[in-house]
Structure 1
Amino acid sequence: MNERVELSQRMLAEAEIRLRNFTAAISDKKIPRITDLRRFARLLETSQRNMKWVIEAPQFFNLRHEDVEFAHRMNKELSNLLKTIYGMIYDLPLQRSKRTKNLDDTQKFINEEGNGLLSQAEVDRIDDLIDLLDKAPKIDAAALWESSREQRSQEISRMLSEGLTYGEATNAPPILNQSEENFRTELKAINNDLVEQIKIIEHCLDRWFSVGEAPPPYYAWRVAVILRKAKEHGREREFLRVYLKNFQSLFEGRRDRMLRERAQSLGLEPPKHSN
């Protein structure tokens, strides 16, 4: 079984397991806490994204007709269960005294599933970034870089006359405006922090639209890795799609190639590099 087939089968099986376990968890005798319901919803949303991917790209996964039909059925049932869970989130009384304690098996399953799970804040942040990049206007980075020569020349002059770093002169993210030792220490500290990686990318957007300088690809790579570890295959694919649609570094390096190769492994066809 090749890697793509194995991935699709794992996503199908995962969706079925979540559907069965979470359906049992919200029965009358096992009413979960609000926080657990929200976690259920996030996991189900992830499975639903994966099912949509399977449905849209059956040839990529080399799926049989019955597997595609199963994915369609799972997608429909996941949607129905999500509606039920969202209704419970809004309607369920919040009094702790009324919550059942009969959740041992369900809680064990949640803990197992929760390894690497994104928080709601992380989900919101990556979804906002995907939406922002998907709607961003297309620019000619090479032409913009050439036309901004005077601005870049002034930045170099400020570096020399005021003793600024390149990051300070160009309003780069704060992480870049420090000593090499401190930079490496902070980089290591935020290595698996999705929100911090996204903040850096967002900070770089002004530079992209003003002079055509793409965000350093390392941070996009970390976003992709974090999403992959959290089994957010659908979100990882969407992020890579919109990121590579917008950003092509004028000076393609190893990390740029890694991003493109990862996107291709997920069935995407990123734009070819111009150089």
Structure 2
Amino acid sequence: MPRIGVLIDNNTLDDHLAREHGLSLVILLDSGDRWLWDTGQSGIFFDNARAMGIDLAQLSGLALSHGHYDHTGGLDRLWRETDFTGPIYGHPAVMTGRYACSCCSPPRAIGLRTVNRQRLASQLIPVSDTARLGPGLTMVTNITRQAGNFEPIQGFYLDPLGRTTDTIPDDTALVLETGYGPVLILGCCHSGLENTCDHIAVNLGINRFHALIGGLHLKSAKPNHIEETLQTITRFGFSEVYAGHCTGTHAISSLSDALPGKIHPMGSGLLLTFPPSGHSTT
């Protein structure tokens, strides 16, 4: 049965497991394929994986949700511990330099955190549309942004002076087919949930999902942005939502109040198991 495990998140569901501002998930397929989705900020995801009894030495591949430090900072630890030589799937812009600026703090670099950029480049498989990673697991990139829809890209720039806005075009998502229906796997959802779901509906023909897991980047979202997210969850029929990382406690509370019984805790140590699916997204 396909499984998704949370190796690192801002919160933990087990006091024996670490937490940090970052995200890393492992996706275990019926075929035996084992995929890593991001590597967190520091590499401590690897210790959590060991504690959870999950072996990362035989990964089929790594998929990067986007090129921010809190999703790529564990790359060097992965290479050091396993000498991982498999494919690394990501949008072509995943290695772009990134900065965050605000009126209250000086600019800071928030891009890739690795001393092995050349090694990453040699293993990177650029994905500019969709890619089938394994049976029933599809990566979706170049998500269409509809004017007026929420996309959390405020405060992100391509230069340290904050002159050129970074729209984070490398934001990606995964779709895992299960017996309950498709599961949407997110990093930070910088494209916005409505844009992401609409894009998948058009390109993969999926109009309903069983579950969602990952970050929704609603920490600083306005009430209308949270409402848009709520409407999207309802419109696409999500039965279970595991929103963590950058979602924000206020937004999670708002989602829980509006959708009782659908919003569930997410954190290090969460392990979801689904019945197998008889078909794939591609």
Larger radius of gyration: 1
Range of TM-score over shorter length: under 0.3
TM (normalized to structure 2)?
A: 0.27
More strand by share: 2
More helix by share: 1
TM (normalized to structure 1)?
A: 0.28
